[in-house]
Chain A
Amino acid sequence: MLRESSIASGTAVDLAAVTDRSIDPRLPAGTPLLELVDAVITGTTSEIEAARRVVHDAVGWDALVDAAAVIATFEMMNRVADATGIRVGRGMLASTAAVRRLAGIADARHS
C-alpha cells in the first residue's frame, strides 16, 4: 500500500526507511512520523512527547491526530493478523518479492 500510494501521489518514498531508520524516507515529515511510531509503540512517555511535538510542528494538529489514529489501527490489526494466523500466500510472496527486499522485510511470515 505504501508503494502504491507513493506512485499514485507522485511521491518517491524510500521503502527501505520502513525498516532502516538511518534512511530518509524522502516524504514530507517522514522522519518525524517514523520517530512518533517508534516512540508510541516502544518508547517512553518523554520520547513520545518529544516526537509528538516535532510532528505537530511539521504537519499540524489534525494530521498529528490522523497519525495517532493510524498507529492505533495497526496496533490493533497487527495483533489480529498474527493471532489468527493470516499468512502471506505463495502468490503474494512472489509478486511482492522486490518490494519486500527494498523495505527490508524479505522474511515475511505474515500478511
Chain B
Amino acid sequence: MTRENPTIRTDITDALRRAMARLGLPGSWHTGAHRIAIAGEFRRARAGLDAAADLPPGSLEAGRAVAVDAAEIDQDRVDHFASIGLPLHGYVEVVGVVSRIAAVDAFHRALGYEAPPFPDPTPGPPTGLFDQTAKPSKGFVPMLRGTSIWWALTLVPEAYEGMEELHSILYLSPHEMREPGSPRALSRPAMELIASRASAINECFY
C-alpha cells in the first residue's frame, strides 16, 4: 500500500503512515526503541507467540494484556503494573501504542496487505511529558474533562492525539458522529453494524 495508490483515500494512507512513524519516537515514559518493541509484542501476542522483547516487566506485561486480554484488565491489574514499575502515564502510553498498532494492522489485514514494517527508532530519552492537570476518573487512569472513551488517553497528550486522528480519519470525527448520515462510501448503518460486531467479538460494549 503506497501513498500513490489511487484507490485508498490519501487521508487514510497518510494517517497510517504518521501512526507508524510516531511509534519510533521517544514517548512519555518509553524510548522509541521500547515503543517499537511494545508494538512488536502486540504482533507476537496476536500470533500466539511468547514474549521476546527486552522490555521492563511492567511494560511487557501491560502491552501483552492490552494486546490480547484487554477485556480482563481491571483496577487491580493496573495497580499491579504500577507495582512492578510502570507508572500510570507509562501505562496510558502503552495503551496508546498497542491500540494504534492494532488499528493499523487490522486495516492492512482486512485489505490483504502485509503489515507495515516498524520504523527505525529515533534515539533519545523519554520526554516525561504527561498532563498533570488530569484528574482521577471513574476508570483506571486519570483523565481530562471527566470519564469518557474520548478522553480516556488524555493523561498522555501524544496518546490521545494519535487515537483522535485515527478515529476521525478511519471512522468519523466528533462532528461527523453527531450527524445522522455518512460522509463515506459505506452507509452509516453499515458502519455501525461493523462497529457493533467488532465490539461484541472483543467483548467491549462501548
- Residues on A lying within 8 angstroms of B by beta carbon are 1-2, 4-6, 8-9, 11, 13, 15, 17-19, 25, 27-30, 33-34, 36-38, 40-42, 48-49, 52, 59-89, 100, 103-105, 108-111
Q: A74-B198, A75-B105, A79-B95 are in contact. List 6 more A-B contacts (CB 8 A).
A: A2-B192, A34-B193, A37-B194, A42-B201, A70-B198, A80-B96
Shortest distance from the beta carbon of B6 to any chain A beta carbon, whole Å: 11
Asked if B197 and A37 make an inter-chain contact with CB atoms under 8 angstroms apart, the answer reads yes
User: Which residues does chain B contribute within 8 Å of A9, judged by CB atoms?
Assistant: 180-181, 187-189
Number of A-B contacts (CB under 8 A): 249
Q: What's the dominant secondary structure at chain A's contact region?
A: helix
Asked if B206 and A67 make an inter-chain contact with CB atoms under 8 angstroms apart, the answer reads no
Is the C-beta of B129 less than 8 angstroms from some C-beta in chain A? no
Asked if B110 and A40 make an inter-chain contact with CB atoms under 8 angstroms apart, the answer reads yes
Shortest distance from the beta carbon of A61 to any chain B beta carbon, whole Å: 6
Task: Choose, from B23-31, B51-59, B67-75, B118-126, the stretch at the interface.
Answer: B67-75
Asked if A82 and B70 make an inter-chain contact with CB atoms under 8 angstroms apart, the answer reads yes
Shortest distance from the beta carbon of A82 to any chain B beta carbon, whole Å: 4
**3 tightest CB-CB pairs across the interface, nearest first?**
A85-B139, A68-B110, A62-B185
